[in-house]
Amino acid sequence: MRTRTPDMTIRLESSWDVVIAGAGPAGLSCARVASEGGLSTLVVDRKVMVGEPVQCAEYVPRPITRELPLPSECISRRVSKMITHMPDGTSEESSYPGYILYRDKLETLLAERCREQGVSFALGTRVLGVKDGRLQVKVGRRSLDIPYRYLVGADGPLSRVGASIGVVNQNFVVGAQYRAGPGEDSDATEVFFYPECPGGYAWVFPKAASANIGVGVNPRFGKNARRVLDGFLRGLQEKGRFNHPDIQTTAAGLIPVGGPLERTVVGNVILAGDAAGMTDPITGAGIHTAVVAGTSAGEAMVRSVNREAPNGLDHYEQDWKMVLDDQLRRAAQKRRELDDNWPRDPEELAGMLRTRWIAFEGYYHD
């Protein structure tokens, strides 16, 4: 969907069954399900074009296809494994089949499917907050109040919807990434741990004609993510990689790493995806969890309207927790252990990672 909006053929002030703040994987998955269930659905987002800019390493695990079929045009490269480069000089190769996406193409396609189901979009629309059962937004110079039956906050780590209901993320990693060409012929994602990238890791994810080269740094350690990224790229060049990179895009943003928020439903307001802290606190991955949560949110609202669920939206929390809660809370505990004891010594850091990084069997034992 390349349309630049807001769509002036719709009246934002109309009463909607569902208003969704955020046109990412969580919001779009929710919108499709809600509209298929017969609910009038509006998606608002401050971006003027769905899918852009891309602020993501774009890897998804193969099991995502159970919830979200991936057309070939949305896949940049298939990968079969992950190589973890440890600070003591050793490496661990693990089987992690999945896909490196063209995330912009994927979100464009999801938005097109939503439109086909009757979902309305108001892009270029900034969320201000929530008051008296209305979503307050600004379109250009106009301030509007949008009434809703249900509101979904899928508006990212610093969710305005979440802040309005007093439920917010507290802990973040700062991510910085270059998409650079030419690419490398590889079927492996690569992860690098070293003391100069504290509270996180660096990565090289291969794409068809480029690579995503990035870092995630915990700000509590006082490091500038962009400087760490530049240092990481220089280190790759010293090893003969990306010696003359064509840096095509740059991206930076916050990644919530505190684990899922204690409350994701307050009255008739739902939080999903990054807004609900559903990014994996250890890996930073969030696309798969966002799709799961958004789909569950849409299903819960449809059931509630149709009176199929006596506790209304409570089923949303039950559903997403059944699938995601154990995984996310384990990862949050492992992250706290790392952040509270992140060592400068490479050997000591490597020892901690062998029980706190997903490539190692020790990670899966308490």
**Structural domains of the chain, with CATH:** 16-53+104-170+258-337 (3.50.50.60), 66-101+172-256+343-364 (3.30.9.10)
Angle at CA of residue 353, ends 347 and 354, nearest 5°: 95
What would the mean pLDDT of 240-252 be, rounded to a whole number?
93
The pLDDT of residue 40: 96
**Band (314; pLDDT cuts 50, 70, 90):** confident
Is the CA virtual torsion 342, 346, 352, 356 positive or negative? positive
pLDDT, tens only, 336-351: 999 998 998 999 999 9
- How far apart are the C-alpha atoms of 27 and 239, rounded to whole Å? 41
Which is more confidently placed, 356 or 4? 356
Q: What percent of the chain has pLDDT over 90?
A: 88
Q: What is the DSSP letter of 195?
A: T
Three-state SS at 314 = helix
What would the mean pLDDT of 5-16 be, rounded to a whole number?
65
Statement: residue 2 has pLDDT above 90: no
List Cβ neighbours of 66 (8 Å cut-off, separation of 6 or more). none
Looking at the DSSP bridge assignments, the partners of residue 218 are none
The pLDDT of residue 11: 76
The pLDDT of residue 312: 72
Statement: residue 189 has pLDDT above 70: yes
pTM tops 0.75: yes
Mean pLDDT of the chain: 93
**Band (14; pLDDT cuts 50, 70, 90):** confident
- What is the per-residue DSSP string for 50-114? TT-S--S--EEEGGGGGTS---GGGEEEEEEEEEEEPTTS-EEEEEEEEEEE-HHHHHHHHHHHH
The pLDDT of residue 12: 79
The pLDDT of residue 5: 43
Q: Which of 53-62, 81-90, 162-171, 197-206 has the lowest mean pLDDT?
A: 53-62
Is the CA virtual torsion 366, 67, 296, 157 positive or negative? positive
List Cβ neighbours of 72 (8 Å cut-off, separation of 6 or more). none
- How far apart are the C-alpha atoms of 355 and 280, rounded to whole Å? 16
What would the mean pLDDT of 248-277 be, rounded to a whole number?
96
CA distances from 178 to 186, 211, 260, 264 (A): 18, 8, 28, 33
Statement: residue 194 has pLDDT above 80: yes
CA distances from 168 to 162, 164, 319 (A): 6, 9, 21
- How far apart are the C-alpha atoms of 160 and 131, rounded to whole Å? 12
Cis peptide bond prior to 53, omega within 30° of 0:
yes
Amino acid letter for position 117: Q
145-184 burial: b if 16+ Cβ within 10 Å, else e: ebebbbbbbbbbbebbbbbbbebbbebbbbbbbbbbbebe
Q: Which of 1-5, 64-68, 104-108, 326-330 has the lowest mean pLDDT?
A: 1-5
Statement: residue 157 has pLDDT above 70: yes
**Band (310; pLDDT cuts 50, 70, 90):** low
What would the mean pLDDT of 90-104 be, rounded to a whole number?
96
pLDDT, tens only, 42-88: 999 999 999 888 888 999 999 999 999 999 999 999 999 999 999 99
